[in-house]
Every structure is written in structure tokens, then in C-alpha cells.
Structure 1
């Protein structure tokens, strides 16, 4: 899992932004993922409530008999998943949401911290039951896993405070610049390569893409001057910037390629139907709305429940 970088000049300013979450060592290496403590569902007010019998009836027999839902998240992506001050307990919107879904399905939830780019392969290998790590739902990912959407969101860009290079969340603004992203994230896999091609097709210099094992590492690269900017989910990146004590900030521009965010489920798993039913209840009974307020997610990311 991701752990904060121990750089004396940066730790104080970035303490909140880099307390291990959806991926934690910066630079070239990662430490081995660690399992977070098992979580008994119903811990916070938004996760309490009666079992949704109709949703629970859709559970695969193996999950129902086990009684536990193993949820993989990369605990370096505030406010979706990150470590509390004990650097052990995973907290965040995705953690609370999956606890709430587990409660509605009559299951306990076991949270496991895993490197972001290892979660989807881990689902295929049956290491986890679901992946909840602010995954953008994309056609490429949907070839190997199924998704249960719960939010809408897009990508943003952050640079050193004051934005000295005058960057914008606009492809032509990024030509010739070095931009960081998290390894395995949609920004590094698809969006930045696409932006770079837009630049070269227009006769401009390509974007130099630097990928980091954790979001913390990508953010620190901006602060240290190793890269010109970092691209990530706008909601998470904005909150990380606010927690950086003025070290970096979002740059102007609309969200880039807004798309649904979803919980990943093994391809073809019968668990998807149960999660969809529980999610529909969570979207209609105020659970998701309550959690969005708790974690300060903007109303614009709300996903209306499907009938």
C-alpha cells in the first residue's frame, strides 16, 4: 500500500495529503500491500439500517455462506479511501459506502489495501470480491470486469500554487509539458496519451508522461518540481490540494471527459445483481447523499438511481 514519502521539507505541508491511500510510496518503489482490519458494517450513522432482503436474496451462495465481502481499495486517494491518523484504519467515502452496501446485504466487510493497478487483476484471480477505489468506468476496463456505478466525475489538473506555467485543463495547454499521473489510473492509461497525440497531430511537442505507483508520489513530484502538473480525478485532486497547505492547486478548466465512477466486480459474477439492488436502495434512501455530505463531495457528482 502507499505510505507517505519521508521528505523533511515536504512532510509538514503535505501531511494530510499523503497519509497513505488509493496507492502510497512515491517515486519508483512500492511497499507490499497490507490488509486493513476487518470492518463490521454499520459503524457510522449512514451505514446503519435494516438488511435489504430483496438484494440479499440475489447474493451468490458462496458469498452468502462466507458472510464476508472482501473489498480491495488503494488507500491513497482522499476522500475516497485513505488511512486515518493511526496509519492503519482505512477511511473515506468508498469505505463507508461499501460498509453500507455490506450492511444492506447482511454481510460483514473486510477492507484490503492494494496497489491501484493490482486491484482489477486481483478480482480476476479471486483475491477480492469487489474493488472500490474510485474506478472510472471505461470501455477498456469493462472488457475484463463489470461495474456498479455510484457517482459521476471527470479529470482535473493541479500545479504548484500560483500556477507559474499558466497551465489549463485543456489539451493544447499541456503540449511539451511533463505531467504526472498514478500508475493504472485512466489519466495515465488513456487520457494523457490521447492528449499527447492531439498535441503531436497539431504539430506541437508531445506531453511527457510520468507515472507513479501512488497518487501521493505524483502529487509530491509536482511540489518538488520534478513534473509540471498532475492529472487525476477532480474531486480527489481538489481535496488533496486543499490538504497540502498551499503546496499545489487545481488549475482552471472544466472536468476532462466526465464518466461514471463504479465498484468493480469480477466479469459475469452473480454478485453484480445483488450489489446493483443494494446500490439502488442506497441511492434512494438517502445513504449515498448522506455520505456525499460527510465527505464533502460536490452535488454535481451525484448519480441518479435508475428505475
Structure 2
């Protein structure tokens, strides 16, 4: 039987882990004065120390990130992205790093949307090719009036359209919109409760024999950070509070 490649060995040989991400996804990844900021940069720096390698990020439009992973243009995906049953069949995830339940953000002075169901008959934005978009579509289908959904390649474009009142709400995961609303409370606020099912964010790699060693090493490093408090410290810094997330493999709710 022919020997297969070992992605962890390849990464260590080169001394660099290449990570595909989209730097328009605060507070996980965003640019400030042209420099990467956010939880991902600091968390991957710790993972790099555990693996003994440097980290190189590639900033890409989100719709091209997962295809790029499958084409082996980089080693893993930061994102992070929501773990779903369908995605678990296609990709290999490490332990979750944050909650990802989907909710709505509206204009700070908008009193017309007090609960998620109030978007019936209105126009709402979400990220193109995202699980958040699929959650929005599923929820919108249960409402008595049609919801017009606009898809955005860049989350910041969606937020700008919300501020300009071209749409009435943006659907995204709680950590993302809570961060944006806290930074710009004069423009935005979050609608409670969330409308999505309980879900979690995680990093991922390819689901093949070559990648098993790398994903196992990253997961072991992340579980170590979970146990020694480094993950909770980063959650507090970037997400506002430590989050109760599964450690190791788990079954998504959808």
C-alpha cells in the first residue's frame, strides 16, 4: 500500500502553517490601519507556539475560502465557521472556540423590530455562502410575510447598508454583531433573543488521511489552551466573556 502524505510533517518541515481567512469578520479577524487584529491572530499565535511553527494568514473573500481549502491552497481555515452536520461530513473540525448562535442587529433607533419575528415583510442582509444565511432563510420561511434577503460578500458592506437604512437588519452570529454594536452603539443594537439554533464556531481543515495528523495536533493544542485558561482569556478580551463551549468532538444541533 502506498504511503500517504502527512500534512503535520509537511507544515513542520516548512516551519509555517498557512491559514485562509476573511479579515472582515470582527472580532475574530479585521484590519485596523492595515494590520490584522482580533481573536484569530492571537489564538493562532498560541497554536503556532504549541506546534513550533510560524503562522501565515491569507486574507480572502469568504466565498473563496472553503473552495481554496479543498484545492489545497492553504492548510486550514480560520474564519471561524459554524459547525453543522453537513459541514462535519465534508470537513475536519477542531474543538469549538466560541458560541455562534445567529441573531439580528438593527439600527440603534429602530423601534419597529423588537423581536426576530418582526422582520416579516422586510429586507434583511446576511453573508453570502454562510451558515448564518441558511439559518436566516430557514427562519424567514416560517414567517407570515416574505422576507427579502440580500447576500453580501463583505460583512462590512452589510453593516454599511444597515446604517444607511437600505436594509432593516443583518443576521450574523452573536459574537460578531455584539462586538460591532458595542463598538458603534450610536448606529446599531442587537435584537434579543437570537432566532438561530444553539451553535458553535470552530476552525477546520480538509477531511482526508493527509490532514488527520495536523488537525489532531491543532485540536490537542486547543484543548490544552481550554484547560490552562488561555482560551477563556482570549474570549474575555475579544468576545466580552468566557464562553462554555464543547471540548473535543460534539454533535451539532443542525
Query: Quick one: which of 247, 250, 253 aligns to 1:305?
Result: 247
How far apart, CA to CA, are the structure 2 residues paired with 1:290 and 1:229? 31
Query: Quick one: which of 214, 219, 222 aligns to 1:279?
Result: 222
CA contact (8 A) 1:70 1:110 kept: yes
CA contact (8 A) 1:192 1:207 kept: no
- CA distances 1:91-135 after superposition (whole Å, capped 9, x unpaired): 110121111111101111001111112111111011111111121
How far apart, CA to CA, are the structure 1 residues paired with 2:26 and 2:97? 17
CA contact (8 A) 1:82 1:91 kept: yes
How far apart, CA to CA, are the structure 2 residues paired with 1:122 and 1:78? 21
Which of 1 and 2 has higher RCO (CA within 8 Å, sep 6+)? 2
How far apart, CA to CA, are the structure 2 residues paired with 1:253 and 1:263? 26
Matches within 5 A, 1:10-89: 60-84=8-32, 86-87=33-34, 89=35
**By how many angstroms is 1:245 displaced?**
4.8
Query: Quick one: which of 25, 29, 38 aligns to 1:92?
Result: 38
CA contact (8 A) 2:100 2:200 kept: yes
- CA distances 1:134-171 after superposition (whole Å, capped 9, x unpaired): 211012222321111222231111111122323413xx
**By how many angstroms is 1:81 displaced?**
0.6
How far apart, CA to CA, are the structure 2 residues paired with 1:137 and 1:109? 23
CA contact (8 A) 2:114 2:191 kept: yes
Alpha-carbon RMSD across the aligned residues, in angstroms, is 1.8
How far apart, CA to CA, are the structure 2 residues paired with 1:176 and 1:245? 26
CA contact (8 A) 2:159 2:170 kept: yes
- Unmatched segments (≥5 aa) in structure 1: 1-57
2:146 alignment partner, SS class: coil
Q: What residue in structure 2 maps to residue 216 of structure 1?
A: 156
In the alignment, does 2:177 pair up with 1:177?
no
Q: What residue in structure 2 maps to residue 265 of structure 1?
A: 205
**By how many angstroms is 1:243 displaced?**
1.8
Number of aligned residue pairs: give it: 240
1:258 alignment partner, SS class: coil
- Unmatched segments (≥5 aa) in structure 2: 1-5, 250-254
CA contact (8 A) 2:175 2:239 kept: no
Query: Quick one: which of 107, 124, 129 aligns to 1:160?
Result: 107
CA contact (8 A) 2:93 2:204 kept: yes
